[in-house]
Structure 1
C-alpha cells in the first residue's frame, strides 16, 4: 500500500491482513459492539496462539459499548489483555488500530471507525492508514501514547466482575436516558508525560544539573548496609521505603555499582531522565541509555525503560531474559501492575529492588506486593525530620464547609463536575486566599483537583495582586522550567498545579504547600507533602495549609503525621490530634476537630472494612484471591482477618463467598483449618513438616510420615536459603546440623515440630509409634479442596514468618 492511504469503506479488509502479520496488536476504540468483536475474533485468536502481544482498550463513554460485546471480547483468548476506560462523563472518542510488525515496520490506522460491524463494513467512515516505515517517529509516539492510555488510572482490567459492574450502570443509564445527549466542554488532564531535560533549581533559581555526589548520605548509607545484609541472606527481591527528599534514586545507583548490568523501570519519563542523571553521577564510567517510546537503546550498561514501552512483548524480547543482573522498579501506578508482572516474569535478574516513598495499602497494589513483602529498609518522613534530614513542618487544618457527602463517589474519586460546582465559587476562593495569606511564607505550591480549579484560583489570586501561575499539561504561556525559576527567585509567589509535582521534580526552596482538593489518595497526599520538606538554606520549616472537609480519608489523614502510630498498629484508637516530632506543629480549626471526631464515630466497622477490601481485590484480580495474595495485595493488613475470624476460610464463609459444597467442607473441617492458621510458631518447623506432606499430592498428603522420611526435605529447606537458616536454623542445636546427619535431623524433627504440635493440637494431630498423623477422617470427595485450602494457609504462614522487615518504623 502507499505510505498514506484514505479508507472510506470496508476497513476490515485492511485490518485482517495487518492482524495476521503483526507481532503486536493494539486497538483503542470508544465503542465496542458484539458484531464488531465477532468479525475480528477468529483473527485475534489466531494471533494470540502464535504469541502476538494483543492489547485492546475500549470506553464506557455515553454507555454505548455493549456488555455482551465486552464478554465476547474477553472470551476470545485469555492471553489478550483488555481494559475499560471509565470516562466519568468526559469525552473518550478515539478510534485507532496499531499493528507492529517488528524491525521498524508497522501500520497505524486512525479515523472514525469504532469496533462494530457497521463501522467495518456498512457505514460511511473515513480512516487514514499510514506505514510505520514512512513515519517511524509518529508510529512510535502512537505506540507510546497508546500504552499511556491503556494503563491510565481511569482504566480497569476487563473480566467478568468488572463487566458485571459496567452492565449494572449501563442498564441504569439506558433507563434514565433513552436518547443519550451530552455536551462535553473540556477534557481534564492531570499530569504531563512528556520527557524534559531540566534538573533542580539552584539558590538563584537557575536550572542546573544535580551536583555530583560521590559518597552516600547517612540515610542512603543505612539503606545500603541493610541491602547488603539482605543480599547476603539470599533474598532475591526486596524493597526500600524512604521518604521523598532522602535520595531513593541515588540509593539505587549506589547499590547498582555491584552489578554488571542494570535495568531501571519507571512509569514517568521525568523519573527516567532523573534516574539516568543520578546513575551517571555515581558511575560515570558506564554508558547509559533510554528505552522508551522515542529511544531504543538495547546495549547500554544501565538501561532506563518506560513501563509502557517495555510492557509490550516485542520490546521486552529485544533483551535476553538474563540480560540484567539487577532490576530496579520505581513506585508504579495500580493499573500498570499486570505489566510489571509480565516484565518480571520474563526477566531473570539476580536481584529485584523496589523503591518507594509511600507503600500505602489504602491505595491498592504497590511495591510491597511486587517485592514479596520483603522490606530491606524503611524510613518514614517523620523519622527523617527527627534526624534533621528533612525540615520540620507547621500544619494548619482549615475548615472546608463543603458537604462532600452530596458529591457522587465514582471508583476512586469524586465526580468531577459535581466537585467543580462546589469548588468554583468566589466564597470558596476567598476562604482559600484568606487562609493562605494568614499562614503562608514565600514560595507556594498549591495542589488542585483539576485544571479548571487551578485556572479559577489563579485568576482569583491575580485579582488580589498575587503573582502566580496555573501550571499543568495545557499551560502554554510559560514552560515548566521557567515557572520553577520564577518561583525559586521569588518573582512568583504561587504555582497552582494538578498533580504535576507529585514525583520527579524537586524545588527545595518551596516553603509553603496549599491543599485545595479533597484527599482521595493517601499515597499522593504523602508524596505532595514531601515536595516541601527538602532542606534548603534559609528555610526553617515548611508551612502546610490544608482544607479539611467531610471527604473520604479525612478522619485518617492526620495519622500520617503521628509519632505514636504503634498504638494504632496494636488496635488502639488513634488520637484525633496526633503527637508530632519536636519542632513540628499542628494547628487545627475547632470546626475541623469536631468534624474529625464525628467522622471517627461513624467509621465503618472492622468486619465491613475487611469485606470491602476483599471484594476490591477480588474485582481487581477477577477471581477469589488466595490468602497470600490477600496479604500482599489487599488494602487491609491480613492479620486483621485472623484477629476477626480466626481463619481465612471462616471469613469467606461469613462474606458468603463459599458455595454450597465449599460451605459443607468448611464446616466439616473448620477445627483443622483454624488449627493450621492459629498454631503458635516461634519457628517455622511445623509448617515445614506440613509443607512436605502437602507437596506429595492432593491424594497422598494425609498419609502419616516418620521423622526419618521428612528429614532430607526439612534440612534442605533451611540450608538452601541463607535467610531461612539465619532466622530458624542458627541456634545452638540446629547449627550442629548444618552438615547433614539424617538421624540427628530426624531427632530434631521428632522432638520439635512433631511432638510439640501433637501436644497442642487438641487431638487433631498425633505423634505415636514414630509416625506423625493428622488424626481426622476426610471424605474422598473433599480431599482436593481441603488440600488446596490447607496449602494456602501453609504458604501464607511460611511467607509471613520469613518476610523481611526493615529496621525502622514501617508506615
Structure 2
C-alpha cells in the first residue's frame, strides 16, 4: 500500500491501514457514531464491490457479475427482512427503462446524462448543452421546481418546448425568481405565467433579496429524480453558450442532497419574501420593480478615453502581423476577422504599435471605408485607443476637404470622386487601412491601390468571399496574414450569442423561374412577395405570427432590422408594418446619408420599431 501523506482523512480503519500508521497517528482515530456508520460502511462496500465487478472479464462477465451481486444480496437478506429473493437479478442482467402511462405509445426521451449517476456540466463543446438536457428532463418529470436569480426572454424561448410538454401533460411547475439588478424580463415572466400549470413567485424587494442560487429540480414518482445546481440562470448565454458550471445530482446517487434541495425549496416557496405573481394583474408592479432595481446598474458611466488593451485573440492577430512584417518582409497584410471581433480595434492597436516604433511620431494615416457611418465609428475607435479626441479628420458625407490631410478617414467614393491621389505624392501616407476590403474589387479602389506606396497596407474584412469573383489577395502579396473566422469566434465565445429561428416560407419558390444564374431572381421574388396580393398577404401573415410567437406576444417591446429582396419589397414591408401599428421605415443604398442617420436615431429613440433595408447594414449598423 502507498505511503500515507499528511493531511485530513475520513478513512475507515481497515487492518491494512492500521499497519501503515505510526503510534502517534492513533491519537486521531475515533469511534464511528451510530448514525454515521451506515454511510461510511456502505460507501466502502460500494467501492469494493464495484472494483470486484470491474475485475471480472471474459465472455460470461455479465453472468459472473450477476452471480456476485446475488451472493452479496443473499448475505444482506440475513440482516434485513426487507431484502428477499425477489430482489435477486436474473442471469440476463436487464434494465427497465420506462413504464408508459395509459394511452402513451412510446417512452419519453431520456437525457443524455444518467438518471443514476451524478455528472458535471462545464459548458464544454464536447458535452451536451444544458438547455437540451433540461428539455429532455421535462419530458418525464412529474413535478418541476426552478430557482433562479433572473429569467430572460432568450432563456424562456430555449425552454418553451419543454414548458409546452409539461402543460400538455398537466405537470405542476413552480418557479422562484427575483427583480435583482432589474435583469429579469417582463415578457418572459408574462409568457410563463400564461401556462395553466405554472406558479410563479417573485421577490419584489429592491434592497435586501440577494438570491444567487440557480437550480432546476425534476421530481419523478418513479424515484429517479434529478436536480441541476450551479451557475446558470434562465438565459440563452447561461444555458447554451457560456462557460457555466452545473452539477447534475440524482436521487439514486446522492439522495441526501435531493432531500435537502426539496426542503430548502419548500422553505423559499412558503417564505413571505416571495410573492405570487398573477399574470396581467401584477404586470405594472413587476415593471416598476425591475425599473427601480435596474437604475443602479445603468447609472454607471465610463470614461471615454479608457486604457484599451488587446484581448488574447486580438493579440494573436497582432503577433501574426508582426511575424509577417519582421520575418517574411510582407507589409501588405490582409486580416480576416468575424464581424463583432473588433477589426477596427485591431487596426487601431496595430497603428498605436507603429507609432511606438517611430519614437512616438504619428505616421501619416489614411483610413478608407465605403460608408460614412463606418468611418465615424472607426474614427471614434482610433481616438479612444490613442486617447486623443482631436485625432484625424473625416472626409465624406458632403464635408469639405480638411486643411490637414495627414491623418484622414475618408469614404472611397469621396476619395475617388475628388481624385485626391492627384494632390498627394505616392508615399504621402505611411499607413493605409482599407476596411471591408472585399469591396476593393470595385473600380473605385483601383486608383488607390495602384498609386499609393505606404510602408504598411492593412486590409480588413469579415467576408472575403463576397468580392464578385475578383481576387483581392493580389493586393496583399497573395496571402492572408491573420484569420479569425466565425466558427472559431463562436467556439471561443467572443461574440454576442444569437438565437436563430427558422420560419418556413409559405410561398413556394422552388419553381425554376425563381432561379437565375446561380442566384434567386430578384424580379420574380418581388412579384411573389409584393405584386401578387394573395402570396404577399400569406407571407406577411406568417411573419407576424412568427414575431408574435418569438417576441412572446409583445412585439411593441422589440426593435428589428429586416433585409429585403428589393427597394419595392422593403417599402412594401415597411408599409405593412405601419398598417399593423409598428412604426417602420425603408432604407436602401440610394437613401440620403441624412435619412440613414435619422432612421438609425429614430430606432434608438424608440420612434420606430423596424427598419427594412436593401444593400445596407450588411457589415454592421
TM-score (norm 2): 0.43
| Larger Rg belongs to | 2
